[in-house]
Amino acid sequence: MEGLEVLSGLVKGQIVIVDDTVDHKEYSRGRDVSPHGNYWIYCHAHGRFERGVQLLTVAIVDLSTGRTFMMGAFPYAVRKMLDLGMVTEFKTKIEMAREMLDVLKGYFRVSRVVFDSWYWYEKLVTDNVVSELKSNRAQGRVGPGDPRGGGGTPPSGGPSPPESTSPP
């Protein structure tokens, strides 16, 4: 945490950006879930299911200089991994983001938090936030086992995992 102390003395007018992304693993063995984190994920950018690892990204922008500092890209487990006993602890992306914001606020004077509509949730919307709020937010939620949330099997008609761990 020493690095955060040093950086907090240099950065002024901080905005925290929270987002998620897929680290594509094109040549990995895609599974419904994998102990190594490689599984089938719906990639919104490409409009299809792809093998990869889901990451939560957090960055700080210094408004006085326009510089961006990446705080980290954190892989996260999907709920199905907990259900299968592959991990012993589970946190949603929103819970992870809340914890990271709490840590950063201990070091930085965060003036705003920016995230997309997927993070619009009461646990995160407690401070000055900038986000898009969609009228269909309830329809955009992804439940446990839904492949768009990771850890699921692509729907019929989409690419199928070569090695499925789902029962027939």
Q: Would you state the pLDDT for residue 32? A: 64
Rounded Cα–Cα distance for residues 141 and 137 (Å):
7
Q: Would you state the pLDDT for residue 92? A: 82
Give me the helices (H) in the chain, please.
Answer: 2-10, 79-83, 93-105, 137-140
Q: Would you state the pLDDT for residue 128? A: 58
Q: Would you state the pLDDT for residue 154? A: 46
Copy the structure tokens of residue 136.
Answer: 């269909």
The more confident residue out of 135 and 109 is 109
Q: Predicted confidence band at 100 (pLDDT cuts at 50, 70, 90)?
A: confident
The answer to which of 14-18, 66-70, 143-147 has the lowest mean pLDDT is 143-147
C-alpha distance from residue 126 to each of 74, 96, 107, 119, 154 (Å):
22, 15, 18, 12, 35
Sheet strands (E) in the chain: 14-24, 39-43, 48-62, 67-75, 110-114, 129-130
Asked if residue 124 lies in contact with residue 98, where contact means CB atoms within 8 angstroms, the answer is: yes
pLDDT surpasses 60 at 162: no
Q: Would you state the pLDDT for residue 117? A: 61
Q: Predicted confidence band at 121 (pLDDT cuts at 50, 70, 90)?
A: low
6 Cα distance to chain centroid: 26
The structural domains of the chain, with segments of one domain joined by +, span 2-149
The answer to which of 31-35, 89-93, 138-142 has the lowest mean pLDDT is 138-142
Q: Would you state the pLDDT for residue 40? A: 77
- Residue range 40-71, pLDDT digits in tens: 777 878 888 888 888 888 899 888 888 899 88
Give me the chain's average pLDDT, please: 71
Asked if residue 71 lies in contact with residue 13, where contact means CB atoms within 8 angstroms, the answer is: no
CATH class of domain segment(s) 2-149 = alpha beta
